[in-house]
Chains A and B, each alone.
Chain A
Amino acid sequence: MQQKGNFLKSTFAEIIQHNLPAEIYTWLQDKALLIREEKNAGQLNLTFAAVPRKTGKQLIQFSLEEHDKLKQVHSEYAINGWTIDRLCRVWMLLQVDSSDKENYFRKLETLFKAAEMNELVALYSALPGFDYAEDWQKQCADGIRSNIGIVLEAIMYNNPYPNQYLSEQAWNQLVMKAFFTDKDVKRIIGLDERANKELASILIDYANERWAAHRVVNPQLWRLVTKFIHAENFANIEKAFNSADLSEKKAAALAAFYSHYQPAKDLLENDIELKFAIKENKLNWNAL
C-alpha cells in the first residue's frame, strides 16, 4: 500500500505542478516538507485548511498520458472533475509520516473530526493512498453514513478503496445508499464483481417498496440481481420485464439474458428484438 501512496504522490505532484503558478507550487512543497517532519499536527492542520486560499478552486487539467498512468491504481480510477484544491489536499495528506502508526492515525483522524464539506471530500478521496489501508475501513463506512452528496460521491465515484477493503456488509450499505441518493452507480468501482446474494435480496425488496409507492425503480438495480435469479424471486424479473417503463423492461431483459436461470433466459423469447439488441451489444448496462 505504501507503494500505491508513493505512486500517487509522485503522479499527483506532476499534475499539480503544471496546474499551479510556480510560487504556489513552491509554497506547497515547502509546507509538505514541514508536514513530513513535524511530530505534532500544527502545520498539517493549518495547511490543509488553507489550501484553497492559495490554490484557488479551478478544475484541474491533465494530459491523456497522466490520465492513463493513473489507471495503474485501478483501470477505473480517475480524477476527472477534481478541483485543484482537492488534488493538492489529497497530495498533502499523503505527505504525513506514517512510521509511527498511532500518531499517523491520530493526525488524520483529527482532520476527519473537524472537517468542513470540501475537506471531507479530500479526505475520502485520499483513502486509496493512505498507509495501513485495511485499518481505514471503519472510517470509510462512517463516510457512507454521511448525507452530504459530494462526500458520498468522493467515496463512491471512481474510488478504488471501498471495492478493495470494505466488508460485504459495509459494501452493501454503500451500494444501497447510492441507489437511495440517486447516485450514478455506474461510477462505483467493483459494482459487478462484488454483487452478492444478500445485496440482491435487499435490492429486490427495495424495488418492491418503490413499486408499492408508485415510484420509479433505477434500472441499474437489476444488474446486481442478475447472478442471483432463482425460482423464488423470478416473479420480480417477470414483473419488471412486463413493465410499461421501457428502461425497466430493458433492464429486466439484460438481467434475464445474463442469468443462469433457464426460465429467465426463456423470458427473452417473448421479445426477440430485445434479445438481438443484447446479443449485438447494442443494449448493455452502460448504455442503459
Chain B
Amino acid sequence: MCCSSFDGEKTNPTESHATVDLQAIKGMRFFDPHVHMTSRTTDDYQAMYDAGVVALIEPAFWLGQPRTGIDSFRDYYSSLIGWERFRSSQFGIKHYCTIGLNSREANNESLAEQVMEILPLFIMKEGVVGIGEIGFDDQTAAEEKYYRQQLELAKEAALPVQIHTPHRDKKRGTRRSMDIALEHGLSPDMVIVDHNNEETVKEVLDRGFWAAFTIYPFTKMGNERMVDIIKQYGTERIMVNSAADWGISDPLAVPKTAALMKLRGISNHDIRLVTYQNAITAFGKSGQINEDDFVTIKNIDQSVKFEGNTVLRGGQQPRIDKASIIIS
C-alpha cells in the first residue's frame, strides 16, 4: 500500500526533462526493497532486469479493492511466495517478500482477526524476509492493535519489520510507529521505516532505525531531493526503493536514482550502499537472503507457456520487437 492516493503534496510533474541515460550505471547491481510486482507487467520485469535490478522485495499490501474474506488474503499471500516469485524468476530476478496485514485493512476487525490466525502459516516460509508492510494509515485504534500484534509476531519469529508510514499526519505517525516498536522491545536495527522524507529522516536515523525512501512521482520523494538527502545525511542505514504499484509509479526508480547520484558526483561505493547493500544487510537479518541466488536464478527453467506461445527457454527471456507491427 503506497502512494497512489493523491492526498499528499502534489508537485509539478514537468519540472525536469532530462532524458534517461543509464549508461553511467551500466554493470551495477541493484536491489529494490519495496516494489509491488503483482501489479506490474512483464515489460517492467524486463526493463528492471536490463537496468541491473537483480533482486527485489514485494511487501504484502492493500490491493486497491478491499478484501472481504479470509481466502482472498490466503491466496494473495500464496501468490507472493508462489506464482509471483516464479514469474520474477523467469526474468532472472530473485523475488523476496514481506508478509503482513496492511494498516488499511486492519480496520476491518472481524477479518483482521482471521488474518492474524493465518499469518504464522506464511511468515516462516522460504524467502519471506520480514513482516510488512504494516503500521499506520488513518492511525485508528484498530490499526494500532494489529500493528502491535504483528510486532510481537516479528519478535517471536526474529524477523525484520517493514513499516509503512502514513500519508497524512506523517511526522507524528512515523514517531508513533517507532515509539511503539521500541515499546515492544524490538531492536531498531530490525526495523525499516519506509516512505521517509526530509521531515522524518533525521529522527529515524538518530533513533537507530533503517530509513527507506520511496522514489515515487507526485506524492513521495523525487530523486533529486534524494540526492540532496544523501549529501546531507550520508549513506548509513539509508536505502532507496520504488514502491511501484498500480498507480503512476516507476519500477526503474532505483537504477534511475543511482544514475542521477552518479551524475551528481556521489561515489560508486555510496551508490552501492543505498541502492543495494543496505537493504540486503537490513532484510538479510531474516537469514533468508543469499546473494549467490541472484546469479543462480538466471539458470532456472524458463520454459513456460505464455498466451499460447512457447517463448521462454534456456535462460533467455523472450523479447518482442516493439517497433515491429508483426507479432509472431
Contact = CB atoms under 8 A, between A and B. Distances in A.
Interface of A: 45-46, 49-50, 52-53, 110, 113-120, 147-150, 153, 180-183, 214-215
B304 A114 contact: no
B121 to A, nearest CB: 5
Given A115-B82, A180-B305, A182-B303, 11 more contacts: A49-B124, A113-B78, A114-B77, A114-B118, A114-B121, A115-B81, A120-B82, A148-B86, A150-B301, A181-B305, A181-B310
CB-based closest 4 A-B pairs: A116-B81, A182-B303, A149-B301, A49-B124
Contacts, number: 65
B122 interface: yes
Contacts of B287: 53
Nearest to B81: A116
Among B77, B78, B302, chain A packs the most CB atoms within 10 A around the CB of B78
A212 to B, nearest CB: 12
A119 B125 contact: yes
A180 B310 contact: yes
A154 to B, nearest CB: 12
Contacts of A52: 126
B82 A116 contact: yes
B304 A116 contact: no
B300 A149 contact: yes
B83 interface: yes
A118 B125 CA distance: 10
Nearest to A215: B310
B195 interface: no
A115 B124 CA distance: 11
Nearest to A152: B304
A45 to B, nearest CB: 6
B310 A182 contact: yes
Nearest to A47: B124
B85 interface: yes
B117 to A, nearest CB: 12
A157 to B, nearest CB: 11
Contacts of A149: 86, 300-304
Q: Binding site of A, secondary structure by majority: helix, strand, loop or mixed?
A: helix
B313 interface: yes
B127 interface: yes
B74 interface: yes
B313 A114 contact: no
Contact of A153 (B83, B85, B301): B301
Contacts of B305: 147, 180-181
A100 B83 CA distance: 32
A209 to B, nearest CB: 9
B101 to A, nearest CB: 16
B303 A114 contact: no
A117 B85 contact: yes
A120 to B, nearest CB: 7
Contacts of B310: 180-182, 215
B74 A114 contact: yes
A119 B127 CA distance: 12
A49 B86 contact: no
A72 B303 CA distance: 32
B126 A49 contact: yes
Contact of B304 (A113, A119, A181, A214): A181
B86 to A, nearest CB: 4
Interface string B304-328: 1100001001000000000000001
Interface string B7-21: 000000000000000
Among B78, B120, B124, B126, chain A packs the most CB atoms within 10 A around the CB of B126
A150 B85 CA distance: 12
A46 B303 contact: no
A153 B86 CA distance: 14
A114 B85 CA distance: 14
Nearest to A150: B301
5 contacts: A113-B78, A114-B121, A115-B81, A117-B86, A181-B304
Interface in B104-160: 118, 120-122, 124-127
Contacts of A147: 83, 86, 304-305
Contacts of B304: 147, 149, 181
Contact of B82 (A117, A180, A181): A117
Contacts of B124: 46, 49-50
A147 B77 CA distance: 17
Contacts of B86: 117, 147-150
B301 A116 contact: no
Nearest to A214: B328
A53 B286 CA distance: 10
A147 B310 CA distance: 12
Contacts of A214: 328
B310 to A, nearest CB: 6
Nearest to B97: A116
A116 B303 contact: no
Contacts of A49: 124-126
B81 A117 contact: yes
Given A147-B305, A149-B301, A116 B85 contact: yes
Nearest to B301: A149
Contacts of A148: 82-83, 86
B121 A116 contact: no
Contacts of A180: 305, 310
Contacts of A153: 301
A208 to B, nearest CB: 15
Nearest to A182: B303
Contacts of A110: 121
A186 to B, nearest CB: 15
A82 B91 CA distance: 23
